[in-house]
Amino acid sequence: MEEKKETARLRANKWYRDNPDRAKVARRAWYLRNKEKMRKYNLKYRKEHHEELLQFDRNRSKTEERRAQNRKCLAKNPERNRERVRKWEMDNPEKALTNHRNCLEHRRANMRKVPFEKIDRNLVYKKDDGICGICGKPLEMSDFTLDHIIPIAKGGGHLYANVHSAHRICNIRRGTKPLEILYSL
């Protein structure tokens, strides 16, 4: 039985190699007949191999060949790329603002040579229960800022362990002074 299956598989492979155009049409027809089955299979596969697929994409996008290809495409169509980015920013204003903040914070941390991680502002607000880490009073989300416990200017990293919630005015008044001095007053 196994021998017959192997023979049939080899014969099918040979036919696919000898008739590439007809094979393409046959594959497409099979796919269209089994579209729902393939969709379910692909979803299941992606769910089971999520981390592997993410790592594959990360590695693929890091190759110098891929970077060169991206640079070449961007240089060839700069206006189209700007328009695409503008449209995405208009469609996703919150994400665009978050990306912009992350970019600025990452640059600032790089300039000071301190550790950096992307910080979800909503997570910090929830962690602190909406209480200002400087004055201890309740904090509205509209007046919320991230305050670094050890300021970046003094060598503190942009990390979850080094940030807390603060009123905008409290954060401005504090500047780069240590929290101990503020609490002693």
For residue 185, is pLDDT > 70? no
Angle in degrees, CA 108, 111, 116, rounded to 5: 55
Structural domains in the chain plus CATH codes: 115-184 (1.10.30.50)
- Residue 86 — very low, low, confident or very high, per pLDDT cuts 50/70/90? very high
Query: E-strand spans in 31-178?
Result: 144-148, 163-167
Q: Summarize pLDDT for 138-180 with one digit per residue, the tens.
A: 999 889 999 999 999 888 999 999 999 999 999 998 888 887 7
Tell me the CB-side half-sphere exposure of residue 165, using CA atoms within 13 A. 22
Helix (H, G, I), strand (E, B) or coil at 21: helix
- Residue 60 — very low, low, confident or very high, per pLDDT cuts 50/70/90? confident
Q: Summarize pLDDT for 99-123 with one digit per residue, the tens.
A: 999 999 999 999 999 999 999 989 9
Q: What is the pTM of this model?
A: 0.57
- Residue listed under structure tokens 């001095």: 181
Query: E-strand spans in 28-157?
Result: 144-148
Pairing of strands 144-148, 163-167: antiparallel
DSSP class of 159: S
